[in-house]
A and B are shown apart, each in its own frame.
Chain A
Amino acid sequence: MRLDVFITSVITAAIPLLLAGTGEVLVERAGVINLASEGAMILAAASAAITAITTGNPWLGFAAGIVVGLVWTLFFALLPIGLKVNQIIAGIALSIAGLGLSSLIARGYEGYTVPSIPSLKDVLPILPPLDVLSPILLVIPLLIHWLLSRTRLGLYIRAVGDNPIAADSFGVDVAVTRLVAASIDGILLGLSGAYIVLVTTQRWVEGVTGGRGWIAVALAPFSYWEPLLVYVGAFLFAGLEVLQYVAQALPVRVPRELLLSTPYLVLILALVVVRSRRLQKRVPRALGVEFRRV
């Protein structure tokens, strides 16, 4: 595989993980573990594919993906935030429902090539053959980092994730702040799902996200809940994903299935490696704890 092809495919594979991972970091900094991300991503992917195929316009596909990702994530967020339901079970319920729903709504759209968005090369011939959206999407972790560390909203988000009782007594509405964080996460998940079908794979297949939603959840502890460190994890796992195809061309016969499972195995290893006292200090202290006013 040529180097430039390798790099562009790594970037297109990294962007979904980058977006979803950053979203997860944000929402976990607000104290909510979003395990519904796989469901939100695949539903967004399905609706993006359907919209893009029926209208012939990929931008409408992105819009549909964002809306669906947002709605599904808010649906999830309302269960633990509003009704104090267990976050883990609620997340898994919405992921299961999302997986089932996506394959039902997108029945009959399998195999169609989706209309693609223009590449940077069409705009200016010297640019790499990446899609025009990727430069914007690549800076999103930076933006979220800025949001978390430099803005008032970021301060509120960190406060409700670390000590919701103190934040509440200072007049921060814990529920609203967490919902805002969840809706930003939802938008990013929707973008990520839409990007997978419209750019990375360019067609809808059942289960197209292939566990990227779960990988995104794992990226949060892996990057010490720091948006900028999501770059490292996302590119690492995207690299592993693309290397599978490179390795298949090697003369040494490695079972394809072993290559396919490396990202998951490396992820478990990564979760072990990042376990340390430093990590313990960085965990949002109210992560996974429902807020009740006492």
Chain B
Amino acid sequence: MQRSIRIPVRVEPLVNVTFRRKIVVFTTTYLLAILGFLLFLYLKGYDGISILSHILFYTFTVGEGIRSLLSTWGIVSIIALGALISFKVRVWNIGLEGQYIAGAIGATYAALFMPCISPLNLTLQLLLGFILGMLWAFVPALLYVLISVNEVLSTIMLNYVAVHLLEYLLYGPWSGTYGFPQTRLFPARFGQVGGLPSPLVAAIILFFIAYVVMYRLRIGLVYRFVGENRNAASLQGYNVKLVLLLCFLISGGLAGVAGVFEASYELGYLSPGIVRGYGFAGIAAAVLGRLEPLTTLFASLFIAFFLVGAYSVHLPALGFLAEGLLLIAHLSAEALTRYKIVIMRGGVY
């Protein structure tokens, strides 16, 4: 079999990647992804162009659309920051969705059962959300650092557990009137800050802090060193395990904070409606932003646009499809800029 099948294609690394090549490759792959998306919609009998233009119109001109776009941008980008922090040290925390749900549960506990003096209560919500998000990441993080249990699998499993925990609380102890799976309204909620939705403001502050820590402080250097080469960092005497553990926990905590904003700003109560696949959206945004803070912030806007648009046409699955396609396009584009595909003729190997 090996002698008969030969693929006459070779992938060769490029020494110099020109800026022009990057532009051309990225534009074509992204366009191909969007065209594929439209073609799929067309084949399914949806009018893709009018859906897209509706989404564009809705998100950028209708007041409700803009408001929703900005707050979704904030929430998604906070999760994306969590993804970025763990992915940069090559910890694949895929459980952001679960940690986000845990954070929302924490916020709900603070809002419903803790003293309700508005600023104090909001702080408690944030704190409890952050802690619960970290707690949800704690077991996989510990197992990963101590005995290197595959973190991808353990965090994915905990996503499902988090959804079941949420259902348990909403159908059981926290259920609303007539057993409806919805808590009562939070007495204290996050609102607008200076005309902007609070999740977005929080996101901008968090991204600024992350940037400063990563690129302006000494611990940021250690962090990036561990991300680039764990073995070298460990040989230099840095406590690599501690760095990995902290990054894992912080990324979980940030997802929890996003959950706090979804429950306390977007909805004002806890319901199964908070499960909207934001965890995967954050992952997509972080990868599209090439794991750099500034670009990730803008990639999150791009992803949020698709999410809000998909909800506005009542097809939430469209958001998933767009995220997946964009991720694939982006990954292939990154590879295609760095490699050249050579088709070989004749028997020259």
Contacts and interface: CB of A to CB of B under 8 A. Distances in A.
Given A92-B94, A257-B164, A85 B321 contact: no
B158 interface: yes
Contact of B318 (A95, A104, A177, A214): A104
Given A93-B284, A97-B328, A264-B160, 7 more contacts: A85-B335, A93-B287, A96-B327, A97-B321, A257-B165, A257-B167, A271-B149
A210 B283 CA distance: 20
B11 A83 contact: yes
B332 A94 contact: no
A90 B331 contact: yes
Nearest to B168: A257
A246 interface: no
Contacts of A94: 324, 328
Interface string A197-212: 0000000000000110
Interface stretch (B2-10, B111-119, B184-192): B2-10
Interface of B: 1-3, 5-7, 9, 11, 13, 40, 44, 92, 94, 139-140, 143, 147-150, 152-154, 156-158, 160-161, 164-165, 167-168, 171-172, 277, 280, 283-284, 287, 315, 317-325, 327-328, 331-332, 334-336, 339
B44 A104 contact: yes
B259 to A, nearest CB: 18
Contacts of B327: 89, 92-93, 96-97
B148, B171, B317 pick with most chain A CB within 10 angstroms = B317
Contacts of B331: 79, 83, 85-86, 89-90, 93
Listed from nearest, the 7 A-B pairs whose CB atoms lie closest are A97-B324, A100-B320, A100-B321, A93-B327, A83-B335, A257-B168, A103-B317
A149 interface: no
A180 B1 CA distance: 11
A259 to B, nearest CB: 9
Contact of A104 (B5, B317, B332): B317
A265 B44 CA distance: 39
A166 to B, nearest CB: 14
Contact of A97 (B44, B287, B315, B325): B325
Contacts of B149: 268, 271-272, 275
Query: Helix, strand, loop or mixed for chain A's interface?
Result: helix
B172 A268 contact: no
27 contacts: A79-B328, A82-B11, A83-B331, A89-B287, A92-B283, A93-B287, A93-B324, A96-B277, A96-B280, A96-B327, A97-B321, A100-B321, A104-B40, A104-B315, A104-B321, A171-B2, A211-B160, A255-B168, A257-B168, A258-B168, A261-B161, A264-B160, A267-B157, A268-B153, A271-B153, A275-B148, A292-B13
A211, A261, A267, A275 pick with most chain B CB within 10 angstroms = A261
A156 interface: yes
Contacts of A260: 164
Contacts of B40: 101, 104
A83 B332 contact: yes
Contact of A100 (B11, B44, B157, B318): B318
Contact of A152 (B1, B13, B139, B335): B1
A110 interface: no
A171 B5 CA distance: 12
B33 to A, nearest CB: 10
B39 to A, nearest CB: 13
Given A89-B287, A264-B161, A153 B1 contact: yes
A256 B148 CA distance: 31
Contacts of A95: 324
Given A79-B332, A173-B7, A265 B92 contact: no
Contacts of A265: 157, 161
B156 A214 contact: yes
B337 to A, nearest CB: 11
A79 B336 CA distance: 11
B1 A100 contact: no
Interface in A80-117: 82-86, 88-90, 92-101, 103-105
A217 interface: yes
A156 B5 CA distance: 14
Nearest to A83: B335
Contact of A176 (B5, B152, B319): B5
